[in-house]
Chains A and B, each alone.
Chain A
């Protein structure tokens, strides 16, 4: 049973526009959520996170929104750049960083110039 789901396998966006990547979860015990970015043949790199006590966290061009009642989070990238083209993984944990992360299957983002 997938506890973290990224239902869009891929997304294509024009450079300069907004990219919105979505993630749904089923486990009510999850209280910390992270987004990782991954290029081919490399390990994921941490992008941004949000605690369940917040509904929004912003870092430069990246903003994560959390809707606890809907068990849904989204990552907004504005403006999108060609270098943002990568696989984006949503991850969740019950407890802070040191606990196990449960990952979604990832969404491939392609930003066209």
Chain B
């Protein structure tokens, strides 16, 4: 089945540690996106990539980093510089003529 896989579903991080969230898609989509959702808020864009080896900052990129070395993969690293990392993280992908498709998310918590 084609789709977007985010792993793990739940992730725990100690203070001061970096952590990487995985996002893989087999939909042959060019564009990929990372969003963050906090309780009572909409999705906010962290980073997006419209082509391999290129990506742009979204609205809340501080404390995060990404890479896009392969079309299928768009990992997100939450660095120790992100002061409030506890949230639900969603990855999406799309072709340019279709709506974004989302994965089932990763919930990150700080120990």
Residues of A within 8 A of B (CB): 4, 6, 9, 34, 36, 41-46, 49, 89, 91, 96-98, 100-106
Contact = CB atoms under 8 A, between A and B. Distances in A.
Contact of B42 (A34, A45, A105): A105
Interface string B51-75: 0000000100000000000000000
Given A42-B105, A44-B90, A98 B50 contact: yes
B42 A104 contact: yes
A34 B99 contact: yes
A103 B96 contact: no
Contacts, number: 63
B104 to A, nearest CB: 5
B98 A97 contact: yes
Contact of A97 (B44, B95, B104): B95
A102 B59 CA distance: 10
Interface in B58-111: 58, 90, 92, 94-105, 107
A97 B103 CA distance: 17
Interface SS majority for chain A: loop
Given A41-B105, A44-B90, A96-B97, A105 B31 contact: no
16 contacts: A4-B42, A41-B107, A42-B105, A43-B102, A97-B96, A97-B97, A98-B30, A98-B94, A98-B95, A101-B43, A101-B100, A102-B45, A103-B35, A103-B43, A105-B40, A106-B42
A28 B12 CA distance: 41
Contacts of A42: 104-105
A97 B93 CA distance: 10
Given A43-B92, A43-B104, 11 more contacts: A4-B42, A6-B42, A43-B90, A45-B102, A98-B50, A98-B97, A100-B33, A100-B48, A103-B42, A104-B42, A105-B41
Question: A-B pairs with the 7 shortest C-beta distances?
Answer: A43-B102, A98-B96, A103-B42, A46-B99, A103-B43, A105-B42, A43-B104
A45 B105 CA distance: 12
Pick from B33, B35, B42, B44 the residue with the most CB of A within 10 Å: B42
A89 B6 CA distance: 21
